[in-house]
Amino acid sequence: MTFARLLCLALLPGPALAQSVPFDAGAMDAATFDGGDLPDGQSALTVKVQTLLDRAGTSPGVIDGWKGGMSTTALKAFERRHDLPVDGVLDEEAWQEMGGPEAEPIAQSYTITEEDASGLVDAIPEDYAERAEMDRLAYLRVTEKLAERFHMAEDFVIALNGGGTFDPGRTITVVDPGQDVDTTVARIEVDKPNQRVTGLNADGTIVVDYPVTVGSAQVPSPSGTHQVTAVAIEPTYTYRPDRNFQQGDNDEVLVLPPGPNNPVGRVWIDLSKETYGLHGWAHPSELFTAASHGCVRMTNWDATELAHLVSQGVTVEFLE
């Protein structure tokens, strides 16, 4: 059964050319807060803070070491969750609350396996009719697959490890984002102005919080309160040009196969408002760079976590 009926169009850019990073694994583990905000640019401290936020159930989106919008909204969400002053600026209280001084190692070694290098596709065409002929919209690269597994930007994985080939048997450095949250979400709030999705339990306590892309003023996300009607893992995507957008010259209904590079990623959380839902997305670093066509986009890993915490009937409220 197909639940992926959302208004969205995903492009498939490759990673940026690998650049060196100004720190190594040891610096990420040793990074400490000495006052002031996160450093401008890319830093070991920002990697550490992003990772600790992720472990605490407040997703920074991609872990990449760059100070930016997703990290700022994650800090705000963390501060709100822990009754701290909400300004999105790292301070000693937030650093202590996230366990910065006693944090477990941020970096870990990982040896690439044969399975990591299997099931890839050589290319994914832009044309939806050609995509519909494929068996699966799988990963294109080992680094793309590993970046999602460890919640990292793909170009950060490449740069942190000095580029080169990522073949089975190679041991690389990645971050340890921790385990998925294991709880139950009874209510979801979609904060459209701040581009965050919050999951609360039956007592009203925040248990998870994620960055998202929402619609624009021209093609807005829903308003009001709705319910989760179904959850699909590894969904197909039904392209309906008469109801959604038109891609290229395709004017007939097409069914695109599942996979992480499907337009709705690895998960579709269907809402009672027809054609709308929360879903994964193949381009996590771009969550804050453009509006959706009304959909609520999440990273594939955040959408997967949330999908396992919700069930039919969960309330979803869109906040203006």
List the catalytic residue out of 8, 151, 283, 295: 295
List the catalytic residue out of 151, 226, 279, 283: 279
In our burial notation (b when 16+ CB lie closer than 10 A, e otherwise), range 274-295 reads: eebbbbbbbbbbbbeeebbbbb
Active site residue 295: yes
Active site residue 283: no
Which positions are catalytic?
279, 295
